[in-house]
Amino acid sequence: MRRRLAVLAALALFASGCGSAEPSSSGGQDEVKVGLISILDVAPIYLGKEKGFFAERNIELTLQPAEGGTETVPSVLSGNQQFGFSNVVTLLLAQAQGLPVKVVSNGTNSTGVDGADFGALMVGAGSAVQSVKDLAGKKVAVNTFQNVVELAVRASALKAGIDPESIEFVKLPFPDMPAALSEGRADAVFVVEPFQQIVLSQGGRALASSYVDTAPDLSVAMYFTSKQLLGENPDLVKRFTEAMNESLAYADAHPDEVRQILPTYTKIGPEIIPELVLPKWPADINTESVAAIAELAEQEKVLPKKPDIADLMP
């Protein structure tokens, strides 16, 4: 609880210093900055920029990498960036805290297929853990406490019939998780691609597709803006959303081009790229899954109160 409140307090502090969110213009085009993490999930916006979907709508797009999704919220609210990419739990936390964030488009979804998702709860080679039930009293690594990954693992625990509180969660960056398994620093980890493939290559195996356990076809992350920008320049938000939706649809329909663009902005090795399980990129947000994860987050005390999903969604 303290960790979650500390994150929210930091976001509120940044939001209190909001400046103008109005983008500058260059040669008739709006210069737009987007904060996002350099991961597989954001391939559609890189493809959309390359294909000219944003330029066609008079948007000069600058993509600015961030260390984590929580960083993008204060940057967008302060006006340093016009749009951001963040996971659904971070955005629900921001809304519940009263921060003026507004989702503008979908970002990335689970495949919805148990055993074939882009993230999984995994154990290392030779592990005695045979099922999620065996994780009671064990250490499970997540990339961030009390956020979407931990919540997904909690969903798998509940599905398996064990108390999520019986799991000892430890925090590790995704790149450190394969080694943590092999060195015995964690009994299980939740990893996303490409780290899922690394664990598999080391003889590890999946226990559960935790995003699938959380909600059918879970909307894992979304693009958002500030209510200030939406009020000041609704036309820009409309054009960005249209370009983003076209980018999502294109990526979903052209997986080979997704794989081709990954080396341009990630450090994923070329030998792994053909093996990656890609997420789904539907243009439509699965609002039922957002409601389901919000309910679970409130139940597991990740959210301080019930969020106003209608206020957050487009």
User: For position 186, which CATH number holds?
Assistant: 3.40.190.10
Query: 97 φ, ψ to 5°?
Result: -80, -5
Domain match, 223 and 299 both: yes
Cα distances from 74 to residues 13, 83, 94, 146, 205, in angstroms, run: 8, 11, 10, 19, 37
Per-residue pLDDT of the chain (314 residues), as tens digits, is 444 444 444 454 444 445 444 666 656 799 999 999 999 999 999 999 999 999 999 999 999 998 766 789 999 999 999 999 999 999 999 999 999 999 999 999 999 999 999 999 999 999 999 999 999 999 999 999 999 999 999 999 999 999 999 999 999 999 999 999 999 999 999 999 999 999 999 999 999 999 999 999 999 999 999 999 999 999 999 999 999 999 999 999 999 999 999 999 999 999 999 999 999 999 999 999 999 999 999 999 999 888 999 999 99
- Crossing angle of helices 88-96 and 148-160, in 10° steps, is 110
Domain match, 51 and 83 both: yes
pLDDT of residue 26: 54
Closest to 32 (Cα-Cα) out of 63, 9, 71: 63
Structure tokens at 247: 């980018």
pLDDT of residue 191: 98
Domain match, 304 and 159 both: no
Query: Positive or negative CA dihedral for 83, 85, 91, 97?
Result: negative
Cα distances from 305 to residues 58, 95, 174, 299, in angstroms, run: 40, 10, 29, 10
Domain match, 195 and 223 both: no
Length of the chain: 314
Domain match, 156 and 170 both: yes
pLDDT of residue 1: 45
Site of tokens 């030998």: 271
The domain total for the chain is: 2
Q: Rounded to an integer, what is the distance from CA 160 to the centroid of its chain?
A: 24
Domain containing 201: what range? 119-214
Of 193, 214, 235, the position where a domain reaches its end is: 214
Cα distances from 31 to residues 20, 35, 113, 238, 244, in angstroms, run: 14, 13, 39, 15, 16
Domain match, 125 and 157 both: yes
pLDDT of residue 15: 47
| Helices and strands: H and E segment counts in the chain | 13, 11
| 298 backbone φψ class: left, alpha, beta (φ>0; ψ -120 to 50) | alpha
Of 179, 214, 249, the position where a domain reaches its end is: 214
pLDDT of residue 25: 61
Of 186, 214, 242, the position where a domain reaches its end is: 214
pLDDT of residue 71: 85
CB 275 within 8 A of CB 118: no
